[in-house]
Structure 1
């Protein structure tokens, strides 16, 4: 009886190895300088592949697409924007169309993958803004959406954003403390958005709004200023390239730095914790409400904006709603912008 049992056990083990396919860990296997996007093609549409917990996983011989964004960024292996690869085993793939066997860590873009913005004609917030997709642009292909923003271009003010947190993978996210500069991404504004977030400009702007430099100094000083507050935060992304794509001005609202690094950060961490505990994807809506009003030197309330023409409005409230669609569970948080 002993021999048949051993044979069955070995047979099961060999079957498991042969069926294992490929696993590419977010941390440890993607060691190339400029990792590509991993995409799934459905007809002529491309979608971002989502990791299964700490890794991407594919069956043996399953094909996927590696791509680079923006348009002039290409794969160093092929010189093209996109390439189809087929899983062999572990982290080894075949470059479709050739007999070349390649490690996933050798599949690289010519420069760092970066995001892009795709405007739409769809209205949002009862007509107060338009929807913009934020994601990745590959030459000649349909835009690949990562998240969405409702933005008022006339006022250069963001209203809300919508994105997902991948609960199975968020605790295994790639961590990169290098924060890129915020970008325009093709949007236009009547003011220089990078300039209005400087403390010097805010001191001048608050002096004008509140009627005196002394009154302005109560709010804008070395320890108090308005920062670029993410609506869709970089910390909710599981890949560096996804996190980098959150650094657009249309995904930011003026937020007191003490709130940005304090209570609001705790709200963001709580949303990630909910997704992780559910071990499932949650939909997250983050936005602003009302305009902050501060007393001028005579005690009269003044609506606060960073643009000299009244654009880049400073919100009174920040809010976040986390929705788990399968269970119908909803979590809500709002924080007042008091300094």
Structure 2
């Protein structure tokens, strides 16, 4: 068994290793979340991947049959034309006895009263120090800070993790997870050196044996490099980092030409992205991956991946870093 790396995050959330699986749409299902948690990390079921609150309840129960370790539920709040019944999803989370929730997208304050009243610990994902400070002020237990390298929505400030993570950790008092660009032991050790209490990985966990996406997508990530992503929606001030493909390039071209959201709505429909993950057609729609795909070279089990990261991180800390000596003039 790999050595445990204890941090404020592992102590607060009752897990063995400071490694969290990001809550990814169409990806964060029971089999992945359970495998991550079983390996000592913190797995996340993505609430809105489930079409109804009843489906979420069933997915939580499915995860419980697969692991007896703690796992969480991601609840992302984003502006949509027809908002999901968030109150009902929250109620399912509470009634199912889940003790950890990851919120993202908008201010977590509207969720705090119900979750706190039911002793649920909250991680809020954000992309700026000012938003992280606001989340701390309203009472979240930890924040996950996303650098510009991340998959999905990096915000509009374009601050990379090497600056954003220490900028956040020097001002926050609650545990901080470093997110965006993490895939291996080097990233974990670097995050700890920057003041973080752990890492959040999305794209890396997409490329695991338990990840419920098509093998062609996993292979595309393994074959890809750090240049293979594209920023879309910049003109709409809703920037997203996605895989570069025929659809993302068309979206960028339309918006650069003065188009508006109605002009691209059909191209970016969630059902098309789901088709990518389920059928392996890489140009069927928009799908999310980070620049970190340039560091992903295999498809291990979650257990193998987490054990590798933690073991190599301990070796880096004990051996390589201790060989670095300061020389005085």
- TM-score, normalization by structure 1: 0.24
More helix as a share of residues: 2
Q: Using CA pairs below 8 Å that are at least 6 residues apart, which structure has the higher relative contact order?
A: 2
- TM-score, normalization by structure 2: 0.24
